Structure 1
Amino acid sequence: MANSPITDVIFDFCGVLLDWNTRACLEGRFPDEIVERICADDDPCGFFRYEDRMDTGEDFADIYPDVVREQGQELADIFKFYIGHYADALPRTLPGIVELLADLKAHGYGVWGLTNWSHETFHLAFEKYPRLEQLLQGTVVSGVEKMHKPNADIYELALTRFGLTAERCVFFDDTAKNIVGANEVGIHGILFENALQARESLAELGVHL
């Protein structure tokens, strides 16, 4: 670590540490055609839009009446089921990522979390995957802070809370706009593809594991 300008690595959760899969929660429990519609990329049922509101700090109880009004009772009931069984939408940690966190820590690097996630469901990540909680030295959660990537304030909060220097940090996220947000506050933002690519990207910045 002494020869590297990087001292700390910050990780997004869903799509980086965890496989987030709405379909895994709903398949076999609701008709296939409804699940396909809910999970379509253009979000016709609004599930991801409603979940994004939860990620910004809104409570499910305040959002649910909007789901009923905008989508109808049947879809609202499915959304309620989805949030109530959210752990089923987190089927695994992504391949090689736990080993990467462990290697970073073993070599003296700081490892941290920064996620857009509801304060009502985030606890499920650590309950289902306690090794992540053991490895991460701290996590900033958007729904708790009522801040949201890619806005600068949440990155700055993480730097301040963890006592980090932006230019000595790397941030991995699977969403391009969140990488732009990290770069704008001086963090080395890298679009995450998989754990091997993350290792290669870190090596290019002088992090040798």
Structure 2
Amino acid sequence: MTSPHTDSPVTDVIFDFCGVLFDWNTRACLTGHFPDDVVDAICADDDPHGFFRYEDRMDAGEDFADIYPDVVREQGEDIARIFRYYIEHYGDALPRMLPGMEQLLRDLKAHGYGVWGLTNWSHETIHIAFDKYPVLNDLLDGTVVSGIEKMHKPNADIYELALSRFGLTASRCVFFDDTAKNVVGANEVGIHGRLFENALGAREALAALGVRL
């Protein structure tokens, strides 16, 4: 597409999902259903039960049914049942869109910018995001999902796939992610990667690149 503003090289903005468009909150899904000390451990950065590791495998394209026996063997039946509950009630871990993000996407579209999604997410649960927040169907021009493609940020191939599929030029794109290594991955393929903190910060980062909203 033609740049909406001649003083900006940016034509398109790509967004991660969890931690950027949505609040991703494992605790919100589990609290009240399982013992507090177990929930605290699962939600800790050094989770001994490996929920993030197993979910990361799903995000990379593995099926829950293939991963679950490993959870049982490595963590025991009790923890495995909690992991199953978590995946089956995944919508509860997405309590809200983050403040200001729906309006940012609307403003970008209103000013002629392309708006896209690029997320590490399981092919088995990605529908939950769109079911719970159907506005995404209107606001995103397209989304690349790691679990569907069996590619995974921060590897270059998934960024290159998004550029190719959407018909984008890397140097004209901005990508927001809340994980530093994924921002680095975007930068390495020539996209303007920016670490996301909040909607206001994203607007400021876009303005610094000449995007006027």
Q: Which TM-score tier does this pair reach, normalised by the shorter chain?
A: over 0.9
The whole-number CA distance in structure 1 between the counterparts of 2:186 and 2:211 is: 19
State the partner residue of 1:42: 46
State the partner residue of 1:161: 165
Aligned length: 209
The whole-number CA distance in structure 2 between the counterparts of 1:43 and 1:110 is: 38
State the partner residue of 1:207: 211
Map 1:154-193; keep pairs closer than 5 Å.
154-193=158-197
**1:146 pairs with 2:150:** yes
The alpha carbon displacement at 1:147 in A equals: 0.1
Matched-pair contact (CA < 8 Å) for 2:5–2:211: no
The whole-number CA distance in structure 1 between the counterparts of 2:48 and 2:95 is: 24
Identity among equivalent pairs (%) = 80
The whole-number CA distance in structure 1 between the counterparts of 2:22 and 2:165 is: 23
The whole-number CA distance in structure 1 between the counterparts of 2:47 and 2:61 is: 20
TM-score (norm 2): 0.97
Choose the corresponding residue for 2:5, options 2, 7, 10: 2
The whole-number CA distance in structure 1 between the counterparts of 2:45 and 2:134 is: 31
Structure 1 segments unaligned to the other structure (5+ residues): none
| Structure 2 residue identity aligned to 1:21 | N
TM-score (norm 1): 0.99
- Partner of 1:140, secondary structure, is strand
- Partner of 1:118, secondary structure, is coil
The alpha carbon displacement at 1:2 in A equals: 2.4
Map 1:1-209; keep pairs closer than 5 Å.
1-3=4-6, 4-209=8-213
Deviation readout 1:140-195 (Å, 9 max, x if unpaired): 00000000000000000000000000000000000000000000000000000000
Across the aligned residues of Structure 1 and Structure 2, the Cα RMSD in angstroms comes to 0.5
The alpha carbon displacement at 1:21 in A equals: 0.4
